[in-house]
Copies of this chain bind each other. A is one copy, B any other.
Amino acid sequence: MLLKKNIPLRYIFGKIQYELLVILLYTTLIAVLHETNRVLPISIPLAIPALLGTVISLLLGFRSNQAYDRWWEARHIWGSIVNESRTLARQILTFTDTGEQGDDVHLFRERMIRRQIAWCYSLGQNLRGTPATTGLDKYLGKRELEAVSQYSNVPAAMLEQHGRDLKRALENGWVNRYQQVELDRTITRLCDAMGKCERIKNTVFPSTYSLYIHFSLLLFIALLPFGVIEYFGFLEIPLVMAVSASFLLIEKMAIHLQDPFENKPTDTPMTTIARNIEKDLRQMLRDQEFLEYEKPARAYYVL
- Is A95 part of the binding interface, using a Cβ–Cβ cutoff of 8 Å? yes
> Is the CB–CB distance between B212 and A91 below 8 Å?
no
Identify which of B7, B55, B160, B287 contacts A53 (C-beta below 8 A): B55
- Is A37 part of the binding interface, using a Cβ–Cβ cutoff of 8 Å? no
Question: Complex formed: what's the CA distance from A184 to B85 in Å?
Answer: 15
- Is A204 part of the binding interface, using a Cβ–Cβ cutoff of 8 Å? yes
> Is the CB–CB distance between B151 and A287 below 8 Å?
yes
Binds B, one of A102-110, A116-124, A277-285: A277-285
Residues of B within 8 A of A7 (CB): 207-208
> Is the CB–CB distance between A93 and B163 below 8 Å?
yes
Using A54-B53, A93-B163 as known contacts, say yes or no to A83 and B195 having CB atoms under 8 A apart: yes
Whose C-beta in chain B lies nearest to the C-beta of A195?
A: B83
Identify which of B83, B196, B249 contacts A208 (C-beta below 8 A): B249
Whose C-beta in chain B lies nearest to the C-beta of A247?
A: B55
Binds B, one of A23-31, A56-64, A133-141, A293-301: A56-64
Using A50-B51, A82-B195, A156-B86 as known contacts, say yes or no to A176 and B179 having CB atoms under 8 A apart: no
Using A204-B4, A212-B249 as known contacts, say yes or no to A159 and B90 having CB atoms under 8 A apart: yes
Using A163-B94, A206-B2 as known contacts, say yes or no to A151 and B79 having CB atoms under 8 A apart: no
> Is the CB–CB distance between B178 and A83 below 8 Å?
no
Residues of B within 8 A of A79 (CB): 195-196, 198-199
Question: Complex formed: what's the CA distance from A4 to B259 in Å?
Answer: 12
Question: Complex formed: what's the CA distance from A87 to B249 in Å?
Answer: 42
- Is A36 part of the binding interface, using a Cβ–Cβ cutoff of 8 Å? no
> Is the CB–CB distance between B47 and A47 below 8 Å?
yes
> Is the CB–CB distance between A58 and B59 below 8 Å?
no
Residues of B within 8 A of A97 (CB): 167, 171
Residues of B within 8 A of A90 (CB): 159-160, 163, 187, 191
Question: Complex formed: what's the CA distance from A219 to B242 in Å?
Answer: 9
Whose C-beta in chain B lies nearest to the C-beta of A150?
A: B287
Residues of B within 8 A of A243 (CB): 52, 219
12 A-B interface contacts by CB (under 8 A):
A2-B204, A3-B204, A47-B47, A48-B231, A51-B53, A54-B57, A57-B58, A82-B198, A87-B192, A94-B164, A97-B167, A153-B280
